[in-house]
Structure formats: C-alpha cells, structure tokens
Amino acid sequence: MGMEKHKPYIAMIIIQFIYTGMALLSKASISAGVKPSVFVAYRQALAALFLAPFALYFESQKSPPLPFKLLCKIFFVSVIGVTASLNLYYMGLNFISATIATASTNTIPTMVFILAVCFGMEGLAITHYHGMAKVLGSVVVLSGAMVFTFIKGPPLYTVLQNEGLGHTAKSRSTEDWIKGSCLELAGNLTWSVWLTMQRPIIKQYPAKLRLTTMQCFFSCIGSAVWGAVAERDISSWKLGWDIGLGIVVTAVSYWLQVWVVDKKGPVFTAMFSPLALVLTAIMSAILFKETLHWGSVCGALLLVIGLYSFLWGKKAEAKFEIIEQKTEQIKEGVALECITCTSVPDEQQGKREGDH
C-alpha cells in the first residue's frame, strides 16, 4: 500500500529524466540541421507504432465504446495540445539554449492551475491554509522561472573550453531570444490545455494505452501536414538515429503522464517540471559547456521551494477534504438519529391514546 502511494511521484521523476534527455538530444539534433517539424512527425508516428500492439493486447477486452463526438474531441486535443505544442517548442529551441527552453516550461504549472480553476477541476480556497500554500507555491515557481531566465548574475565557474556536444556554445541576439521565448510560451500554453483536458477525456474513455496511442497517431497526422507545408525538401525527411531514439521515450513518457493525470490530476503533473530544469542545466553545463550563473542557482532554489509548497498544499487539501467528508457523515448520522428518536415517542403516544 505504501509503495502504491508513491508510484505517481516515482513516475513523474522518471518523466522529468526522460524530458531532460529529450531536450538535450533535440537541441543537438536541431543544431545539426534536423528540421523541427520533421523531428516531431517521426517521433509521433514511431511512438504510435510502438504503443499500438500493447494497446491492442492489454486493452482488447475492456476497451469502452468510442463515439464519433469523443473521437473528434480526442483528435482536436491531440492536434492543439501535442502537435502545436511540440512544433512550437522545437521551433523555439532553434533560437535559445536547452536550459532556457526548459526554464520556460515552468510557466506550465501556473497556466494549468489557472485553467483547472476556470474549468472547476481545482479548488482555489484561498481562505484555507492549504489553498494559500497552493497559490503561493505557484507564484514562487513562476518567480523562480523568471529569475532563472532573466537574471544571470556572475558566473558560477569559468569555462576553459567552450565546445560542447556537437556544437559550440554561442551568444544569441536579443531578437532571437525574444522570438524563441515567445514560441516557447505559446507551446507551453497549448501543452497546458492538453494536460487540463486529459482528466475529462479519461473519464469518458478510460483505456489509457489506447487513448495515448490515438493521441500519438492524431498528432502524427497533424505534424505530417505541418511538416509537408513547412519542409518541402525531400532530403529533410531522412530518418536518423536521433529521431529513432525518440520512439521509446515519447511513448513511455506520454503513457506515464496520462496515468499520473488520471491518478493525481493535471496540476500535480505539471508541478514536477522544475526538476527537468535543474537536470537540464547541469547536463547542458557538462555536455554543451554552457555556463551556469548565480541567477540560475537562485532561480532553481525558488523553483524547489515553490514545488514543495504546492505539493504540501495538495496533501493538506486531501486531508482536509477527508475530514470534511467524515464530519458530514457524522452530522447526517446524528440528524438521522434525532429523527428516529423523535418519531418513536410520537408513535408510543398514539398507541396510548388509542388504548384510552
């Protein structure tokens, strides 16, 4: 039972390690000339092919019916939330570093929290301490991401050789930085919409493997159309090892994320994104020779504080809801007992009057 309780946390840590590896691999691939739209189209196609046999085997008996209206909803969410998000992310990655791109993803928890509150999936409850902790945690996470992105400060160490994995670290213009940041924020917004919409879709179609496979397939169609318009050069579609490596990581990360959203909700899922930032910053410094600054360290510290504040608020909220449910049950039991007690004397009084 104890291990079962920790599974969502373990899954989210694994997902963040996967995202870190993909961010570094994607940066190296795009720097080497791979087109973002081609990268996304192949990743999604191969992920769908990888997941399809497992979905058919494990969920062949318990697969629920799929109405046409729900199918259209899944298609729409896949194109908006996955196709647009990934393409915008990789387009932005062409103009900024992997660390800054990962830092921008820490706006996702705040975006998801706002969307979840608007759709009635999350309670605000700022009059309670757990609600204040959730709001404060979101604000601190966003502040940490801003500090990490905008405030460099003095370097943490001196880089002797500025040559990294497959490319040389270079200074970027303000125009590139603004363009890349805007693309990343747009991608984060569409990803937040995707995360928020997972829970209601899972309630209608609980076969998670099949749902994940369909979303990969639909996003592949959208990415292929996007890529066909953006990249008409046939040579751009040549399949390389870096794209092939995305098969397993894309499939596993999507399936794990859908599973965690079902168990813990979209906001819980999004709040682990600061971990990927810290991991990416460390690995970028080692592999790409990107210099870490004190501003990055302070921003990362704020991110960790905000993360724990939010998770503590979520845990306290769950306990508060359990106590409220028990209190309501006790009140209902007392009220029922009072009704029973008052009805018995009335019946006895009626019997006595009948005897007279």
Q: What is the DSSP string of 168-179?
A: B-----HHHHHH
What single DSSP character describes residue 124?
-
Q: What is the CA radius of gyration of the chain?
A: 25
Query: pLDDT tens digits, residue range 250-276?
Result: 667 767 877 887 787 766 776 777 777
pTM above 0.75, yes or no: no
Report, in this order, helix, strand and coil percent for the chain, each rounded to 5. Answer: 80, 0, 20
Segment 304-333 shows an average pLDDT of: 77
What single DSSP character describes residue 271?
T
CA distance 202 to 89: 25
Which band of pLDDT confidence, cut at 50, 70 and 90, is reported for residue 168? very low
- pLDDT exceeds cutoff 70 at 163: no
> CB–CB of 75/151 below 8 Å?
no
CA distance 169 to 211: 40
Residue where the block lists tokens 């932005």: 92
Query: Coil, strand, or helix at residue 201?
Result: helix
Query: pLDDT tens digits, residue range 204-216?
Result: 888 888 888 899 8
